[in-house]
A and B are shown apart, each in its own frame.
Chain A
Amino acid sequence: MANKITLNMITQRSIEEGVAMEKGKTTPEYFEACSIIELHDEDIKALGLVPNQLVRVTSECGSVVVKVVKGRQTLYPGLAFIPQGVWANQIVPPRTQATGEPQYSGFPVTVEPVASGERRKSALELVQGAVGMWRGEQ
């Protein structure tokens, strides 16, 4: 059992994200649809996790806490998925290979169980926090 593994990350749309986004990005639905990571069984096992545990995902440019789920749309071992949205974009590298398009898919991340007491942050906390505007839950 490893306490940290390196995976290849892709971030793309899911229908749950689509529905929730139209309802609003501050809704619980959006939170539940997007603050997750899908992994292959083998990788979940390698981390000694069970579904619904929280993990910290770290890329070359950022880090975010999300919840592990076993996706219905299966991946192969070594490939990880976070739905497009606020949580994914905390770790998406802004490098564009001189095309204008960030590296939304195919970038290395490490995944590890969270330290105790860590929680998933809300969308607002993440985005406003990043630009120094978070004033706590209102």
Chain B
Amino acid sequence: MPKRIENVGCPYCGVCCDDLVVTVSDDGKKILEVENACAIGNQIYHHATESERVRLPRLRQPDGTYKEISYDEAIDYAARVLYNAKKPLIYGFGSTNCEGMAAAAKVGEKAGAILDNCASICHGSSLLAIFDNGYPSCTLGEVKNRADVILYWGANPAHAHPRHMSRYSIFPRGFFTGKGHKSRKIIVIDPRYTDTARVADIYLQVKQGYDYDLFNAFRTVARGHEIPEEVAGIKREKILEVVEIMKNARFGTIFYGMGLCHTDGRNHNIDIAISLTRDLNDFTKWTIMAMRGHYNITGPNQVWSWQYGFPYCLDLSKRDIAHMNPGETSSIDLAMRGEIDAFFNVATDAGAHFPIEAVKELRKHPWITIDPNICMASEISDLHIPVGIVGVEVPGIVYRMDNVPVQYRKVIDPPEGVISDEELFERIYQRLCELEAEDAAKERVKTTAEGIPAED
């Protein structure tokens, strides 16, 4: 009898749909059917059992080919690379569970590494703005139950978060929003007329790169001042109309995406979006939310904040204290300055998603990929260590884009012998401790920096 597993959480995007129903074959080895998932989520589950999976770590040989090695050998290799590097970078974590992130942090702290996550190239701008201006937000159920005005700005959920609009924002009927879509006004602001814009009541085609100006115009109007006839390609009347709708909302939410983070201005675009939200709270209730990309890219921000007080770009190389300064301790900047002498690509694909110039810099040194799949990073690595797929083969806690923790399940076992990120990092940690002890026995303890005592 095939087994039907309910309440399965989807390991794709920050929407973290937890209503998937997955049917698994009698022997528990094959995924037969996936209900409720979007096209992308579907693909993840089917890919897990239909494709040829890597089952053992693979070590690059002098002739450029890979040779399979044991996990013990791979763990020893990885630990030695960390142990001998001056400034190793452990980066990624968009697609694993929080347990894995916590274990990786233990390794990073022991090794004196830089610890960074995909937010560094995604919503890092949001984090910078939050440091400066705060974050008046809510959970997605609040939006569903209360919101009567929804604004998507520089975000295209129709492509990047396929079920966002149906689960939380535009279409669902909530407690105070019993009429669903009919009870809501939808505004979309984007330089492209996206598939998301197609469902909008009002679409503003902002000139690319001029978001800050447009936000500024919104704030100016909301505060009762004059604005020019046209701002950022948008006519004044249109701006007045939208601000009026926003001020008269009962409960509004601004969802914004990479359109603000990836372009000129970066964090300043987010900063002013937050300021607009603050301003609107003098009239009515408004909230703002970053459309976080991967299903658990919010996770490392949470885990490392409670462990170190910083959500990303952590420099643990000072041994006594953690240090964070994006621009200085961020992956891309470190890579481009040639400061990194070993790279761990974990639960992401920097090979595909970093600008190629950064990839070239990083590849001058040892590169280790920890990921279930064959990807660009794995194909340029010295060592590829496969792990189980979280949400399919490994359970764990993940954080949704609204920082709500969601408990994920496993629906099948990983391929025989394949371990989880958490176990892998725990074993690397143990190996690091052994290396340290071996060196100590030889009285060749690596000298670590003497910190400066704090009080007294």
Contacts and interface: CB of A to CB of B under 8 A. Distances in A.
Interface of A: 8, 10-15, 18-19, 21-26, 61-62, 71-76, 79, 81, 84-86, 89-90, 92-94, 96-106, 123-124, 126-128, 130-131, 133, 135
Given A79-B191, A127-B380, A131-B363, A25 B349 contact: yes
Interface of B: 12, 39-40, 43-44, 47, 51, 64, 120-122, 124-125, 128, 156, 158-160, 162, 191-195, 197, 205, 208-209, 258-259, 261-264, 266-267, 293, 312-313, 326-327, 330-333, 335-336, 349, 351-360, 363, 373-376, 379-380
B330 A22 contact: no
A102 B258 CA distance: 12
Contact of B192 (A73, A99, A103): A73
A27 to B, nearest CB: 10
A74 B197 CA distance: 10
Nearest to A92: B355
8 contacts: A24-B51, A90-B356, A94-B336, A94-B355, A99-B128, A100-B326, A102-B358, A105-B259
Contacts of B194: 73
Contacts of A19: 39-40, 43
B64 A135 contact: yes
Contacts of A71: 192
A34 B78 CA distance: 33
A60 B375 CA distance: 27
A61 B120 contact: no
Contact of B333 (A81, A98, A126): A98
Contact of A99 (B47, B125, B159, B379): B125
A11 B264 CA distance: 13
A18 B209 CA distance: 25
A126 B259 contact: no
Contact of A22 (B12, B195, B327, B336): B12
Label chain A's interface by main secondary structure: loop
B355 A61 contact: yes
A96 B194 CA distance: 26
A105 B269 CA distance: 13
A25 B355 contact: no
Contact of A126 (B47, B266, B356, B374): B356
Contacts of A25: 349, 352, 374-376
B208 A106 contact: yes
A22 B258 contact: no
B331 A100 contact: yes
